[in-house]
Amino acid sequence: MFAKLFLLIALGVVLQQHAAEAASASPVEKKKIVCYYGTWATYRQGNGKHNTEDIDPRLCTHLMYSFFGIHPNGSIRLTDPWLDEEEDGGLGNIKRFNNLKLINPKLKTIAAVGGWNEGSEKFAIVANDPQLRKTFVNESIALLLKYGFDGLDMDWEYPKKRNELGYDDKANFVSWCKELKEAFIPYNFSLSAAVSATEDSVKISYDVPGVSKYLDFINIMAYDLNGPWDGVTGFNAALLPGQNDVTAVQKQLNVEAIVNYWLEAGAPASKLILGVPFYGHSFTLTNASVHGLGAPITGPGPAGPYSGEGGTINYIELCEKQLTEPWTAVWDDVQKVPYTYINQTWVSYDNIQSITLKTELALKKQLGGIMVWSIESDDFRGLCGPKYALLQTINKTLAKAQTKQTIISMVNNYFKQINDFFSEAFSF
């Protein structure tokens, strides 16, 4: 009788420790799904045309309106006033975007300022002058209040890069974030940033502990790691290094190395949001019969039919082509990403399988969540499978982990109660 009881309690202790470990390794917290939305997709033709109302506001926790611009005098500008606003018969996209919170009241909407096309120089000018920074802080609060956003996202691509001004961008960016964050507190606005990924770039642009202190979350742009600019085929965003990655620089060009570096550099895991691309890079092979990784190319591949940019193809564009054309699909089991080719066109992209693995890495490393560039590139029409196949994958992978954690903490609680009961009853 006592032996049996003892066994039960011993089992309880073991299970409880096990469960406690698992629970503390990944506390039950809501992970972020940070979704950038390229508003210009409303101008696309056919199946590529994506309107604000095509967004599923239940599949993201944060929606990023991309992009607002910046003036060198510290003012924020609308990049496309007709699309952004309602006046003069405009599309009124900002209002329609923020109205998505009526469907999902927990959704946060964020104004993203910058992006690749906005360049680096205007940011560097504003960052270097306390008075201009003040103008920017003031104007950003006015902007968020005017339109009903919940936060601001700084997309300066990138401090100390793509400008020759010689200012201390790295330190200036910390001051700027500090001033923004402090001014936002009374309004409860969040402050985030989109940041470059690889060690060499991060070292040039960011004081990681400095910016981490003021940013509520940090969106790592873990893509564009290889592309047609390399002269050979390579992966846009491989999860792991490959056999050909021998130099120190090559070893940085994968998602795992990027996450490890950001953690090592001193960013809190819970603030890091791992970016995944919903687009691929296309290449034109020199010889259609030589189609492996590192194969010679003559340049970028043809543009996607809707996005119209050479060397880039969105998931929706590629999956639609694959429905009618005999593409060969290959899974690279070393680097854990797919590629596909037809004739002289070769494409590195992400699919359900690779997005699942990246989401699992974010969970394993206890990051704050997943960021997506960008949702209008997903199969939002359900041409090739379920609607928003890639976003759904992130949602399901995170939801599964959350259910598991909830069960673990329930089991943990259950055994703790049994233990407490018997410990008291028998005063062991």
Ligand X SMILES: *[C@@H]1O[C@H](CO)[C@@H](O)[C@H](O)[C@H]1NC(C)=O
Residues in contact with ligand X, shown as a per-residue x/- string from 159 to 188 under the rule CB under 6 A: -----------------------------x
| Cβ atoms within 10 Å, residue 422 | 16
Question: Quick one: which of 5, 10, 290, 410 contacts ligand X (CB under 6 A)?
Answer: 290
Choose the stretch contacting ligand X; rule: CB under 6 A; options: 18-26, 85-93, 243-251, 392-400: 392-400
Report if residue 71 touches ligand X, rule: CB under 6 A: yes
Closest CA to 123 of 66, 205, 37, 35: 205
Report if residue 28 touches ligand X, rule: CB under 6 A: no
According to DSSP, the β-strands at 217-220 and 272-277 are: parallel
**Shortest Å, Cβ 12 to ligand X:** 31
Report if residue 103 touches ligand X, rule: CB under 6 A: no
Asked if 221 contacts 158 with a C-beta cutoff of 8 angstroms, the reply is no
Q: Which helix (H) or strand (E) covers residue 281, if one does?
A: strand 279-285
CA end-to-end distance (rounded Å), the chain: 15
Choose the stretch contacting ligand X; rule: CB under 6 A; options: 116-124, 238-246, 286-294, 374-382: 286-294
For residue 342, the cross-strand partners are 345
Question: Quick one: which of 14, 165, 399, 407 contacts ligand X (CB under 6 A)?
Answer: 399
**Shortest Å, Cβ 73 to ligand X:** 4
Q: Determine the size of the site formed for ligand X (CB under 6 A).
A: 23
According to DSSP, the β-strands at 337-342 and 328-332 are: antiparallel
Question: Quick one: which of 17, 131, 287, 328 contacts ligand X (CB under 6 A)?
Answer: 287
Report if residue 33 touches ligand X, rule: CB under 6 A: yes
CB-count exposure of residue 255 (10 Å: 0-12, 13-18, 19+): buried
Report if residue 328 touches ligand X, rule: CB under 6 A: no
What is each CA distance from 368 to 24, 180, 252, 259, in whole angstroms?
Answer: 15, 21, 22, 12
Question: Quick one: which of 17, 21, 58, 298 contacts ligand X (CB under 6 A)?
Answer: 58
Report the residue number, 194 or 202, with the smaller CB distance to ligand X: 194
Report the residue number, 201 or 286, with the smaller CB distance to ligand X: 286
Report if residue 329 touches ligand X, rule: CB under 6 A: no
Choose, from 157, 199, 256, 320, the residue flagged as catalytic: 157
Long-range contacts of 164-169 (CB under 8 A, 24+ apart): 165/121, 165/124, 165/125, 165/128, 167/124, 167/127, 167/128, 168/128, 169/123, 169/124, 169/127, 169/128, 169/205
Helices (H), 26-168: 81-84, 93-98, 121-127, 130-147
Choose the stretch contacting ligand X; rule: CB under 6 A; options: 94-102, 247-255, 283-291, 371-379: 283-291
Report if residue 365 touches ligand X, rule: CB under 6 A: no
Report the residue number, 138 or 260, with the smaller CB distance to ligand X: 138
What are the φ and ψ backbone dihedral angles of 151, each rounded to 5 degrees? -175, 175
Distance CA 390, CA 397 (A): 11
Report if residue 356 touches ligand X, rule: CB under 6 A: no
Question: Quick one: which of 102, 289, 333, 427 contacts ligand X (CB under 6 A)?
Answer: 289
Per CB under 6 A, contacts with ligand X among 126-145 are 135, 138, 141-142
Choose the stretch contacting ligand X; rule: CB under 6 A; options: 18-26, 116-124, 227-235, 284-292: 284-292
CB-count exposure of residue 250 (10 Å: 0-12, 13-18, 19+): middle
Tell me whether the omega of the peptide bond preceding residue 140 falls within 30 degrees of 0, making it cis.
no
Answer yes or no: 157 catalytic: yes
Residues contributing to the site for ligand X (CB under 6 A)? 33, 58-59, 71, 73, 75, 108, 135, 138, 141-142, 150, 188, 190, 287, 289-290, 325, 342-343, 395, 398-399
Q: Supply the residues annotated as catalytic.
A: 157
